[in-house]
Amino acid sequence: RSAPSSDAMALPSSSAGRLGPILRLRGGGGDGGVYPLTHTEMQWMQSANMGVGTGIGAVARDHRHWADRASEDALRLDRATLCAASSKPLAPPVVVTELGLLCNKEELLERLLSKSMPQHLAHVQSLRDFAEATLHPNPHYAADKAAKGGEAAEDREVPFVCPIAGTPMNGRSPFVFLRPSGRVVSERALKGVGATACPVTDVPLGEGDTVHLNPNAEQREALEQRHEERRAAAKAAKVAKGGKKAQKAAAAAAAAAAA
């Protein structure tokens, strides 16, 4: 009888039905012809997951799990590549709202002027509530190239990347918008310079100058609080300016009456 193939690891017949899929050892690596296990395979190998997948109910649960995960990945990808105002692909000029949402500038302005802003963009009430951003294009991205069948969201080429780390802006890694420079970079690149200056332009950063894109619940709460503080400060400054104008007008009227 011929020797078993080196591409597969045979399992005892008594275990095959219980363990489900057979793990394959893929050759070609520099460590004896075997690549490390993938993250998915490692998760499956954990004791909590070993043997899961037998029976119709288990298969259904497994299908729902991967379907939910695929849906989450697709949602993250959409948030990182589509306009939050129109769901169209992001294209310069791009702006970032006070709460870290990415929008095409013209489409956001149209919504603002027509007073048809969607609920998730209700915080955008004036031109002060967003700022223009500079995104770094991905040289390997082709807009007319369709995604390959079965290709995971994180494996697709996306329109923008971090100009420092080269990290794809696909929703898998956190990105930030830097107010003083208008640049969008990965959080990793910002931390690499101590988060004290823009890693692209070296413009110093102060408190409140960093906006997390598509923030999580905790980050969004902090951005909302900062947004309210900015609005309050702008309103106070407007009132103070109006008071000074009134004082000047009163002084001018008094001078004219005395003359």
- 154-182, pLDDT tens digit by residue? 567 999 999 999 999 999 999 999 999 99
Q: Give alpha helix (H) positions in the chain.
A: 13-19, 39-45, 56-81, 105-114, 187-192, 217-258
Q: What is the pTM of this model?
A: 0.65
Q: Which residue has the higher pLDDT, 167 or 245?
A: 167
**In angstroms, what CA-CA distances link 210 with 19, 42, 85, 108, 232?**
48, 36, 22, 21, 19
Mean pLDDT of 66-93: 87
93 contacts 132 by C-beta, under 8 angstroms: yes
Mean pLDDT of 107-131: 96
Distance CA 248, CA 156 (A): 62
Tens of pLDDT, residues 185-227: 999 999 999 999 999 999 999 999 999 999 999 999 999 999 8
